[in-house]
A and B are shown apart, each in its own frame.
Chain A
Amino acid sequence: MEMKPVQDDAILDSLKQTLVGTLEDFAFVFAEIDSGDAPPTLPADDYISAVVAFTGSAQCGELQVAVPVAQAKEIAANVLGLEPEDVGDTETIDAIKEWSNIVAGALTATLFGVETTFLLSAPSATAIKPDDVMRFQQLPGAVKLLTDGNPVVALLKFS
């Protein structure tokens, strides 16, 4: 089934709030929502992208988040109580997959209520290059946060 990026302002606001709140609760990382006033710039770093699909009677869709590798390492370090240099690649990827899972669970509950049941897929993750991140953040409906000046990008799609 074809998935289309969500562009509804109220839903995107919920997505932004969920991204910020879960990042703080999960990894003690504070983020601010990018106002979008400044044009997107080419990131210096590779990104880790995680995708989780959700299926429910109310809605099916998928959520993608993309985090700079250095920021992802910091997230994993915070979750594990380690220094970023002590965190391995597997743990770094795992942290972003888990965060995407947490965001999807919280967002579906916020949007459709806790009486609605969803099945979430196991998140998948890939590495993406700065050029692809540049295109990703320019997609309609793409949401951008700033964590220590690093852009984190998310896209919600509904079928």
Chain B
Amino acid sequence: MAYNILIVDDSAIVRKVVGRAVRMTGEDIGEIFEATNGREAIDILDAQWIDLMFADLNMPVMNGVEMVEEMERQGKLKETPVVIVSTDRSEMRMRELKARGVREYLNKPFTPEGIRDIMSRLLGKTPENTTTD
């Protein structure tokens, strides 16, 4: 089964780096979709099946926290695992987001191994919730 991935970040360079790391994992990747803010991400989720989502927090139009709240309202958080990839190191925010249903939290700058380990866990190999640097 090929996995569809959604990368949500207002930085084009981050989207490219996350996308490259995703393709390096060795997982069977279908399509990689990109959104520059939470609103665009919600629109993509309405139109496409997404197996895993990597999302920034600080974005214009709709930020990552607002996007997670909207996904929670629409029941999409249960369908699509969300990984926050952010420079925000607040443990309070990590706890709040995880309590809402966010699955993982990855600090920037991240390594390809960090992406690989998270994908391995969330796509069914080792179901754990941890924070990865």
Q: A103-147 toward B: CB 8 Å interface, digit per residue (1/0)?
A: 011101100001111111110000000000000000000000000
List A contacts of B93 (CB < 8 A). 117
List A contacts of B60 (CB < 8 A). 122
Number of chain A interface residues as a range: 20 to 34
B120 within 8 A of A: no
User: Measured between C-beta atoms, what is the minimum distance from A108 to chain B in Å?
Assistant: 8
User: Measured between C-beta atoms, what is the minimum distance from A94 to chain B in Å?
Assistant: 4
B45 within 8 A of A: no
User: Measured between C-beta atoms, what is the minimum distance from B95 to chain A in Å?
Assistant: 10
Given known A26-B109, A101-B58, contact A116–B13 (CB-CB < 8 A): no
Interface residues of B in 1-43 (CB under 8 A from A): 10-14, 16-17, 20
**Neighbour of A79 across the interface among B13, B59, B87, B90, CB < 8 A:** B13
List B contacts of A26 (CB < 8 A). 108-109
**Neighbour of A81 across the interface among B20, B58, B86, B109, CB < 8 A:** B20
**Which among B20, B91, B108, B109 has the greatest number of chain A C-beta atoms within 10 A?**
B109
Main secondary structure of the interface of A (DSSP, over half): helix
User: Measured between C-beta atoms, what is the minimum distance from B123 to chain A in Å?
Assistant: 24
Q: Which residue of B lies closest to A56 (CB)?
A: B90
List B contacts of A94 (CB < 8 A). 11-14
Known: A91-B13, A122-B59. 9 other contacts (CB 8 A): A22-B109, A79-B17, A80-B17, A94-B11, A101-B11, A101-B87, A104-B87, A114-B90, A119-B58
Residues in chain A within 8 A of chain B (CB atoms): 22, 25-26, 76, 79-81, 90-91, 94-95, 97-98, 101-102, 104-106, 108-109, 114-122
Residues in chain B within 8 A of chain A (CB atoms): 10-14, 16-17, 20, 58-60, 86-93, 107-109
22 contacts between A and B (CB under 8 A): A22-B109, A79-B17, A80-B13, A80-B16, A91-B12, A91-B13, A91-B16, A94-B12, A98-B13, A101-B108, A104-B87, A105-B86, A106-B87, A109-B89, A109-B90, A114-B90, A114-B91, A116-B92, A117-B90, A117-B93, A121-B58, A122-B59
